[in-house]
Amino acid sequence: MNVLAVNGSPRKGSNSCTGLILEPFIEGMKAAGARTELVSLAERNVQPCLGCFLCWVKTPGECARKDDMAGLLQKYAEADFVVFATPLYHYSMTGLLKNFIDRTLPLSQPWIVEDPSRPGLSAHPKRFPKARSIFLVSPCGFPEFEHFGQLVSYFKFIASKQHWKYTGEILRPAAEALKADASGKVFGWYFDLVRQAGEQVVRDGAVSEALRKELQRDLFPGGSEAFRQHANRQWMEDLKRFGNDPTPPWKDVNP
């Protein structure tokens, strides 16, 4: 299996919660025999799509913009399995990852035909049809899983339109806590589970239900209210550090 993991986080290194989760997941995929490559979009020059359609009519299959996307598009086209990874930004993906997805337009052809997998809907035929599986990795700052609904829905829909197999997701609320555990002493158990998930998705094609439940264990004890209190104390300290008023607004205004 040829795996391409695309990290859409603007953060780099250990500052990226997305990267902290991706690392053991990819390790698990390698252990199961996959060939893997990780691309960090924060370290690449991928400009927004211009919507010029020259990749359809002037240079079919080739984008008019000359940046790093040409090489990435080749890797993307050849991948059997793509891991899309992004922190949750406004309940969706980052602009970096959306730019990347928009720039895959050269892999489609201009013709408008009936979608063979969704009768009654229109679609563009693929330039290089290929069976492919995808997986989603996403952390967020809120402590509840419900905030990921729109993001998961998007990638499931994209998979159905592209005729790909959606193989699941690893979603991690309250993910900022992972950055505070550089040694892995506190959350080593979680990274071990992520590594197992990487192995399973290569070996079995999906993460087992038992492992999915384990991956959803709380990182922060005490539930959402305890998390909110802890996070707000931290924001107050940060505001004071920069000389700003740390008074919470909800005492007088509905947050």
**Residue percentage of the chain with pLDDT more than 70:** 97
> Which residues does 237 contact at the CB level (< 8 Å), separation at least 6?
246
pLDDT band at 182 (very low <50, low <70, confident <90, very high): low
Residue 253 pLDDT greater than 70, yes or no: no
Rama region for 41: left / alpha / beta (φ>0; ψ in -120 to 50; rest): alpha
H/E/C letters for each residue in 203-247?
Answer: HCCCCCHHHHHHHCCCCCCCHHHHHHHHHHHHHHHHHHHCCCCCC
Q: Are 136 and 82 in contact (CB under 8 A)?
A: no
Q: Are 53 and 65 in contact (CB under 8 A)?
A: no
pTM of the model: 0.94
Q: Count CB neighbours of 194 within 10 A.
A: 24
Residue with tokens 């087992």: 208
Q: What is the DSSP letter of 164?
A: P
Q: What is the pLDDT of residues 135-162, one digit of tens each?
A: 999 999 999 999 999 999 999 999 999 9
Q: Are 5 and 39 in contact (CB under 8 A)?
A: yes
Query: What is the distance, to the nearest Å, from the Cα of residue 221 to the centroid of all Cα atoms in its chain?
Result: 25
Domains of the chain: 2-220 (3.40.50.360), 222-255 (no CATH)
Q: What is the pLDDT of residues 156-181, one digit of tens each?
A: 999 999 999 999 999 999 999 898 77
Give the up-direction half-sphere exposure of residue 142: CA atoms within 13 A in the CB hemisphere. Answer: 11
48 to 54, 96, 138, 189, 203: CA distances (angstroms): 14, 9, 22, 39, 36
Question: What is the chain's alpha carbon radius of gyration, rounded to the nearest angstrom?
Answer: 20
Q: Are 46 and 37 in contact (CB under 8 A)?
A: no
Residue with tokens 């990290």: 7
Q: What is the pLDDT of residues 79-88, one digit of tens each?
A: 999 999 999 9
Of 193, 190, 173, the closest CA to residue 181 belongs to 190
Burial-class residue 106 by CB neighbours within 10 Å (0-12, 13-18, 19+).
buried
**What was the pLDDT predicted at 28?**
98
Q: What is the pLDDT of residues 231-251, one digit of tens each?
A: 999 999 999 999 999 888 776
Q: What is the pLDDT of residues 184-205, one digit of tens each?
A: 788 999 999 999 999 999 999 9
126 bridge partner residues: 108
Of 60, 135, 150, the closest CA to residue 105 belongs to 60
For residue 139, give both structure tokens. Answer: 């952390």
Q: What is the pLDDT of residues 64-121, one digit of tens each?
A: 999 999 999 999 999 999 999 999 999 999 999 999 999 999 999 999 999 988 889 9
